[in-house]
Amino acid sequence: MKKPFDLNADYQPAHFEFTPAFMDKARAAISLYPRGRQKSAVMPLLDLAQRQIAQEGAKATPPYGGWISRAAMDHIAEILDMPKVKVYEVATFYSMYNLAPVGTYLVQVCTTTPCWLCGSAEIVKACEDRLEIGMGETTADGKFTLVEVECLGACVNAPMVQVNDDYYEDLSAGAMTEIIDTLAEGMKPQAGSQKGRKASMALSGPTSLEKQAKKAGVA
Amino acid sequence: MPKITIDNTEIEVETGTSILQAAEQLGIEIPRFCYHDRLSVPANCRMCLVEVEGGPPKPVASCAMACGEGMKVKTDSDMVKKARKGVMEMLLINHPLDCPICDQGGECDLQDQAMGYGFDRSRFHENKRAVPDKDLGPLIKTSMNRCINCTRCVRFAEEIAGTPVLGQFHRGEDAEIGTFIHELVGTELSGNLIDVCPVGALTSKPYAFKARPWELRKTESIDVHDALGSAIRIDARGREVMRILPRLNEDINEEWIDDRTRFSYDGLNKGRLDRPWIRDPDTGKLREASWDEALSYTAHRMEGIQGHEIAALAGDLADVESMVALKDLMTALGSPHLDCRTDGALFDVAERTGYLFNSTIAGIEQADAILLVGTNPRLEGVMVNARIRKAWRDKRVKIGLIGEEADLTYPYKHLGTGSRDLDKISEFFSGAERPLMIVGAGVFARPDGLALHHMMSEMAQKSGAVKEGWNGFNILHRAASRVGALETGFMPGKNGKAFEEIIQGTRNGSVKALYLLGADEFDARSLIGWQTFTIYQGHHGDRGAARADVVLPGAAYSEKDGIYVNTEGRPQMARRASFPPGDAKEDWKILRALSETLGKTLPYDTQAQLRARLFKEWPNLADFGVVHSPSWAAFGEKGKIAEDAFENPVKNFYLANAICRASGTMKACSEAFVQSQSRPYAEAAE
C-alpha cells in the first residue's frame, strides 16, 4: 500500500500552479473535449500535475517522485470549473495517482496469482534485500519507494514490476537487483522482458502466425 | 409509447420510462437502495434486478433499463429471486448488523428488504471492513460501517442542494463516502440526507438514541418557520416532540424540508412560558401569577385607557384564528391600531395580487426567466430556492438578481443592488415567454415602501411578467403569519397607526396599552416606551416577554390547531401534536377569556364557532390547500423612491424566531455555519 492521503501533513504545499510548459499541455488536453465538457480532462490534468511534481522532485535534495497534493487537485478543479470533490473522487479511485510523496522511483511489484506462481515472492525479497526497506516504505535517500500492487496485466511475462512508466518483465531475483542497481546509478535499464523475449511471444520463437512474425521482423 | 408486459400485465408507458417506474405504475414493488425518484440513476446497488425475457441472459437493473416495445419482464421469477438474494448477501457482508443499537432500526430499507431477501446466516468468515466515521456538523451523525455506498447522499448534495461537498472516495473494498477534506455539510437542506439514506449510516444527531419509530405518535402538520408552509410530520412521545420529518407536498416542498424546520423542535421544550407572569410595578421584576390574577390585573391596568390609545401587534408565528380574535377584541375596544408587519414593511394590501406569490411555488418550474429582487431565497424560503435550482438544473433557466450578492447554489446575473437598477427588469425579461419576478418582502421595510410597491407593480406590467394567462409577480414573505394577517386585515384600520407609528406612539404617550401577540421580531425592550402597558401573549420567553408587564402563556404551532396562510395565499392547517406545557393555553382561548374580563366578550365559545365567523367573512380560508389566484390590478402609491441598495433582512438563518432562538441545535448550527464565517451564504451573526 502506498502512503494514504493526509490532509494535515506538513508536506502538503499551500499552493500549486502549472508551469507554463505544463499549462500548455493541460490546454491541449482540455481542447480534446467539447466546450462545456472540459471536466473530462480531469485525468490527463491530474497526470500532468503528478509529472510536474516529479520534474521538480528530481532536482530536489532529497529527491522525490511525482505525487498530487491537495493544492494541485483544487487547482485542477478551478481550471476545469468543477466541484473539488469530484476531482478528489477521481484522484482517489485510480491507483496510478499518488496522493502522498513517493521516492523518485516507484517500484510496484505485482504479487497477483500468475506473478506469484512464477516467483514474485523472490522478486519482493530481492527488492527488500537490495533496498533495505519493507513494502510501502521509502529509502532514506528518497530514491525508491517499494509497493505491492495487484495485477498489472502483463501476466504472460510474469513475474513483473512497474517502475514509474516502465514495465520490467520475465524477472529473476538477480535481474531485479541489477535493475535497481542501474536505477540507483541514475541510468535507465532496458525496459520490457529481461530474458530477451519479444513482446509476449514464446521464448523459443513464434509457435503460430510464423509468417507474420517474420514479416514483422520479430522472429 | 412502448407497450411492455410486467408479470403478465400489459402496460403502455411514456418513452424513456424505466422498468422500475413502469412496475411502480402497476403497483408492483421492486426493492431498491440507490434509486430515488428525484435523483439521477447510478444503478450501483443492483437490488432492483429483474428478468427480461428475450433480453440479455442475465438479470437487468430495472431502474436504469428503459422500457422497450414488447419487453416481457418478470419481477419474481426464480432467477430474479436468486439474483436479489445474492445482492443482499453481498450488501450484508460488510454491514455491521447492529440494528438493535441503530437509530434507523424499524424504518430501515435494508432491514425491511433483508426480511424478504436476506439469508438467515452468514457465509462470510473474514473480518468485516471498518470505515472511520465522518464529522458532518451538528446535525448529521454518521456511522459509516453501515454505509452500503448507494451514493444517494452524494447525489442529493450535488443535485438538489447544490453544494457538492460529499463524494465517494477510493474504490473497491476501500470505497467510502465522505467529504475527503473534513468539511462540514453546510447546506440548509442537509437534514434531508438523513431521509435519503436507506440505511443507518446518516442519522439525526439530535435524535440519536432518543426514540424508536413505533413509539411515536405521528401528526401531519405544516411548518411555520418560513412563509411557505412546508408539509411536515411531527413525531411526539407524550408531551415531547421527538422529531420532525417532511411530508410529500408537490405544490410546496416536494419531499424535502430545511434544517430549521427539521431540527428546531428542541426549542419547543426550552424557554417556554408555562404560567402567567405579572411585572411588579415596584421592583420591576416579573412574578408568577395565576390566570385569574393575570387577567384581572390586565383589566385593572386597562381601566380608563381609551380605545384609540390601545394598539396590537401580531408576530411571525401567530395563527389566523388568534389574530382574528385579537382583531375582533381590538375592534370591540374601539382601536384601529393593528399591524402585523413588525419588520416595518410598508405595502399596499388593497389588491391580493400585490402581496402574494402569484405564480405559486410549483409555477417556478414553468418560468423561462427568473429575477430575484432584494431577496436571498436560500435564506428566506429554502424550498423556493430549491425550486429555482430545479428549474435551472432541468432547463438552465435564465436567472437574475437585483440586491445583495450571495451564493444561491446556481449561477445568476447580478443586475444591480438597489431601486435605481429596477429599470433593467424589462431588458432582462425581453424575449421571455413566462418571466417571473420574486420580490423579497423585506424590500418594503423602508419609508418609501409604498412607492416602491407601486413601481414594482408598474415594472411587472411593463416587463411582461404579468400578462394574459400568466402572473409572474411574486412576493416572498418570511413569516408564517403574515399572509394570514394580511388576508384577514390585521392591518391599521381607518386612521390606524402602522408599526412604526405605534412604536412612536408608545414613546410620545399616544399609545398607552400595547398588545403583543407573539411579536418577538423587533427589540421590544429598547423600542417600546417605558410608560406603555404592554401585554405579551406567546409561547417563548423571548424579546416580547422580556419587555411585557403581563405575560400570558400561549401554545406553539405544534400544540394547537391553527390556520396559516402561506406566501402563495394557500390556507393550511397546523395540527396539534402535543399539549402546551403547564398552564399555557391555546391562543384564541386566552383572547376569549381576556375579552370577558374586559367586558367585551367575543361572540364565540368554541374554535368551531370562531372558524365559522372566520370563514363567513373570508370564505377563501376554508379551502385548505387551495390557492385562489387573484386577478391582476395595479397597487401601491406613486411617490419618490430613494436610491438605497436592497439589504437582505435575514442575518442569521438559524436564529430567525423565538423557537429557533430557544433551540440548542439551532445555536450549534449558528456557531458551526454562520459564526465560523466559512459558509458562503452565512452572514454575520445577529
Predicted local confidence at residue B677, as pLDDT = 54
Q: What is the pLDDT of residue B680?
A: 45
Round to whole Å and give the CA distance between B595 and B600.
5
Q: How many CB atoms lie within 10 A of CB B485?
A: 27
Q: With CB atoms and an 8 Å threshold, state whether B181 touches A89.
A: no
Looking at residues A44-73, what average pLDDT do you find? Answer: 95
CA B217 to chain centre: 21
Mean pLDDT of B476-493: 95
How close B175 comes to chain A (CA, Å)?
8
Residue B55: its pLDDT value, please? Answer: 79
What pLDDT is attached to residue B1? 87
Cα B239 to Cα B235, B620, B629, B656, B661, distances in angstroms: 10, 33, 39, 24, 20
Looking at residues B454-482, what average pLDDT do you find? 93
Report d(CA B512, CA B534) in Å as an integer.
8
Residue B678: pLDDT over 70: no
Q: How far is A133 from chain B (nearest CA, A)?
A: 25
Mean pLDDT, chain B, whole residue set: 93
Put simply, the answer to whether A85 touches B180 (Cβ < 8 Å) is yes
Q: CA torsion, points B293, B299, B304, B310, in degrees to nearest 10?
A: 120
pLDDT at B83 over 50: yes
B164 CB neighbours in chain A (<8 A) are 83, 85-86
Any idea where the domains of chain A sit in the sequence? Answer: 20-93, 105-193
* A198 — pLDDT class (breaks 50, 70, 90): confident
Query: Exposed/middle/buried for B26, CB within 10 Å: 0-12, 13-18, 19+?
Result: middle
Q: What span, in angstroms and rounded, lies between the C-alpha atoms of B128 and B145?
A: 9
User: Which of B451, B420, B442 shows the shortest CA–CA distance to B636?
Assistant: B451
What integer is the mean pLDDT of B212-227? 96
Q: Which residues are bridge partners to B372 per DSSP?
A: B401, B438
Q: Find the distance separating the first CA and the last CA of chain B, reported in whole Å.
A: 56
DSSP A175-200: HHHHHHHHHHTT--PPPEETT---TT
Q: Above 90 in pLDDT, residue A1?
A: no
| Whether the predicted pLDDT of B686 surpasses 60 | no
Q: Is the pLDDT of residue B58 over 80?
A: yes
Q: Is the pLDDT of residue B666 over 90?
A: yes
CB B170 within 8 A of CB A92: yes
- Residue A92 C-alpha, separation from nearest chain B C-alpha, in angstroms: 5
Give the pLDDT confidence score for residue B360 in this predicted structure. Answer: 95
d(CA A108, CA A147): 5
Look at residue B197 in the predicted model and tell me its pLDDT. 97
A89 with B158: Cβ contact below 8 A? no
A126 contact partners, CB below 8 Å, separation of at least 6:
A173, A174, A176, A177
Mutation for A interface: B159, B181, B185, most A CBs within 10 A:
B181
CA dihedral sign, ordered B317, B323, B329, B335: positive
Q: Give dist(CA B150, CA B152) in Å, integer.
A: 6
Q: Which among A83, A84, A88 has CB closest to B169?
A: A88
What mean pLDDT is predicted for residues A136-147?
A: 94
Q: Which pLDDT tens digit goes with each residue over B263-278?
A: 999 999 999 999 999 9
Scanning B266-319, the segments in alpha helix (DSSP H) are 291-302
| Residue of B158, B167, B171 lying closest to A88 (CB–CB) | B167
Please answer yes or no on whether B182 and A88 come within 8 Å at the CB atom: no
Instruction: Output the pTM of the full model.
Output: 0.93
Mean pLDDT, residues B329-357: 93
Q: How far is A93 from chain B (nearest CA, A)?
A: 5
**How does residue B684 score in pLDDT terms, banded at 50, 70 and 90?**
very low
Mean pLDDT of all residues in B145-172: 95
Q: Look up residue A190 and give its three cell numbers.
A: 532496458
Is the pLDDT at B682 greater than 70? The verdict is no
Contacts of B410 (CB under 8 A, 6+ apart): B162, B388, B389, B392, B393, B399
Query: Residue A30's pLDDT is what?
Result: 97
Q: Which of A5, A7, A85 is facing B164, going by the closest CB pair?
A: A85
The residue assigned the cell 411526539 is B236
* Residue B4 bridge partners (DSSP): B11, B71
Q: Where are the alpha helices (DSSP H) in B498-581?
A: 499-508, 524-527, 543-547
Contact residues, chain B, for A5 at CB < 8 Å: 180
Query: Position of cell 453544494?
Result: B163
Closest by CA position to B437, among listed B417, B409, B459: B459
Reported in sequence order, the residue ranges of A88-174 that DSSP labels E, i.e. its strands, are 105-110, 144-149, 161-163, 166-169
CATH of A105-193, one of 3.30.43.10, 3.40.50.620, 3.40.30.10, 3.40.720.10: 3.40.30.10
pLDDT higher than threshold 90 for residue A3: no
Distance from CA of A59 to the nearest CA of B (A): 30
CB contact under 8 A, A7 and B165: no
Name every chain A residue with its beta carbon within 8 A of the beta carbon of B44.
Answer: none
Mean pLDDT along residues A46-55: 96
Q: How confident is the model at residue A145 (pLDDT cuts 50, 70, 90)?
A: very high
- The packing angle between helices B587-597 and B291-302, to 10°, is 50
